Amino acid sequence: MKHRSLDSVLSFLACLSIVSGCKPSDSHPHEQSPSMAAELEPETKTVFGERTLLFMENPPLVRGSRVRFLAHLTVCATGEPVRAGKVRLEVGSTVLVADVPKRDGLFVPEGVFTEPGTHRARLSVVSEQVEETLDLGEVHVYPDEQTARRAAIGAAEEARPNEVPFLMEQQWRVKLLLAQASAQVLSKRLTIPAVAMLPEGAAAIVSPPTSGRLHGPISGRLPRTGERVEQGQLLGMIEPPLTASDLAQLQALSLDLDLKVLDTARAVSEAEVRVRFAERERGRLAHLREEGLSTKPQLEQAEQNLTVALSDGEAARAMKESLDRLIADRAARDQGAAPATVRLPLRAPIAGTIVATGHVEGESVTQDATLFRILDSSRLWIEGRASEFDLPQVRKTPTAEVSFPAMPGLRIELSEAAVSSAYIAPTIEAASRTFSIRYEVPNPGGELKSGMLAQLALATEEVAAVVVIPADAVIMEQGLPTAYVMLSGETFERRDLELGLRDGAQVEVRRGISAGERVATRGSYLIKLAALSPASFGAGHAH
């Protein structure tokens, strides 16, 4: 036990060494100005853009003095430093440019100001990681050092008791993320256990229509487990055993088909002869009619005979085409098969994935055999069970959120279509005194599996919360909820919180944080460790 306690202490001290201040050689390159900058604290400015966080330090701006700005730039979405690119700082008519960062995240534009007074300032960053222009508000350029010193003394602020320094290098190392507290509408939720299952009609078993020998499709092989098939796709063929009488009947049918082919061919030839004769007869009567040697009824009769002959010819040719197709289909179906056999097709009743194949090609199977099992997991049912005593809280079609214990980072807010099609059982199960609630969710990638445990969070009431922060920003300290609020780029403050309603990944804060303030989410626990580190109470890096 003593050795284990010593190991725990050493591990804790190692953590503190990570989150505490950097080594002197790794400290901020806050270069001192040769005069007044060595005596006065630098001015700092923290600006949040849509994509970028800027923390800038500089000595007081005095007309005629060369000034270096230390601009620390962070990508808000990832917590990483801006590693490359160009920075342009505009203060009034003065433009300072840093073409490359001095190191990851740090740009140092420098120059001299000649116009005292109050000027609007902005900073633009252009990088492969991010592009944005930040409004820095008003910046003061003092006419002389004495004026700057008096202004600095008047603007001095006392440190707060719960302040925690956490340098930008430390933030970049842990890829610290921040979230802004804001007013939101949260939902009171009833959480119930649930399970993912296949919907009705999403599973199918393919069995042979009769006993026989299993063969592959006309061209190809039998599908294998894991392969996707489409609805109506030919999966294989069943060749039932034939008796002597069956063979005789097949031979008789084949002979009859051959005779029909011959009769049809003869009918086509006869129809063609009649058409040619009718055309010549009509032409002869038409010529005689022109010379007045035939009557009009004779010509009309000839035209009628030609029309009938053409119709008979078309019918004969259609019959011949049908028989030709039938013979071609039979030849393709029986290709490679023994003479006088019948093969019945096996088709997929639904689209999905083959999850089981119970037999191999050439095997004799019975009528009750399971040849293929097909599942369509592109959509799933999430079915939960709620107590009958929670029935008053469940609205007719409650909105819901589903999560999975096996996938902690996944939370699915059900769509309006899923909510509108929700099913609430009309009866209470007598044994468990529960009723089922079911939603359908899309699963195109197949990440969710049938049978997975789930949780349904049913919205029972909506509440307008004034201050809401992410739940992962809350850290328990001695059993009490706390959070770390950024006061400036490298300074945080520990706040004791009074929490209210929690809705999934969001939680209401009734006391301790104001709307608009930014709290640490990812990396917040390391800020807590930095607050415990003795090094965090030192003078910090040199300015």
In order, the DSSP letters of 91-148 are ETTEEEEESS-SBTTEE--EEE----EEEEEEEEEE-SS-EEEEEEEEEEEESSHHHH
Residues in the chain: 543
Class of domain 178-197+378-521: mainly beta
Chain center to CA of 134: 31
Strands ordered across the beta sheet of 228-229: 203-206, 372-375, 352-357, 228-229
Q: Which of the 8 DSSP states describes residue 429? A: B
- What are the residues facing 61 on neighbouring strands? 141
CA distance 232 to 439: 28
Distance set, CA 16 to CA 13, 293, 478, 482 (Å): 5, 125, 19, 19
- The radius of gyration of the chain from alpha carbons, rounded to an integer in Å, stands at 42
User: Tens-of-pLDDT digits for all 543 residues of the chain?
Assistant: 333 333 433 343 444 444 444 433 344 444 444 444 446 678 899 999 999 999 999 999 999 999 999 999 999 999 999 999 999 999 999 999 999 999 999 999 999 999 999 999 999 999 999 999 999 999 999 999 888 888 877 665 666 778 899 999 999 999 999 999 999 988 888 889 999 999 999 999 999 999 999 998 887 889 999 999 999 999 999 988 866 666 566 667 766 777 777 777 777 788 788 888 888 887 887 877 777 777 878 877 878 888 887 887 788 788 777 777 777 766 665 555 555 567 889 999 999 999 999 888 889 999 889 999 999 999 999 999 999 998 888 877 788 889 999 998 788 888 777 787 888 899 999 999 999 999 999 998 888 999 999 999 888 888 888 899 999 999 998 889 999 999 999 999 999 999 999 887 899 999 999 999 999 999 999 999 988 875 544 444 543
Q: From 1.20.120, 2.40.50, 2.60.40, 1.10.287, which CATH number describes the 244-333 domain?
A: 1.20.120
Which CATH architecture best describes the domain 203-240+342-375?
A: Beta Barrel (2.40)
Q: State which amino acid sits at residue 383.
A: E
CA distance 94 to 377: 63
- What are the residues facing 133 on neighbouring strands? 124
CA distance 33 to 108: 14
CATH topology of domain 29-167: Immunoglobulin-like (2.60.40)
468: three-class secondary structure by DSSP: strand
Stated pTM of the model: 0.62
The full set of domain ranges for the chain reads 29-167, 178-197+378-521, 203-240+342-375, 244-333
CA angle 451, 455, 460 (to 5 degrees): 140
Phi-psi region of 516 (alpha: psi -120 to 50; beta: other; left: phi over 0): left
CA distance 257 to 483: 88
CA distance 497 to 344: 73
Same fold, 178-197+378-521 and 244-333: no
Distance set, CA 492 to CA 29, 212, 312 (Å): 21, 78, 97
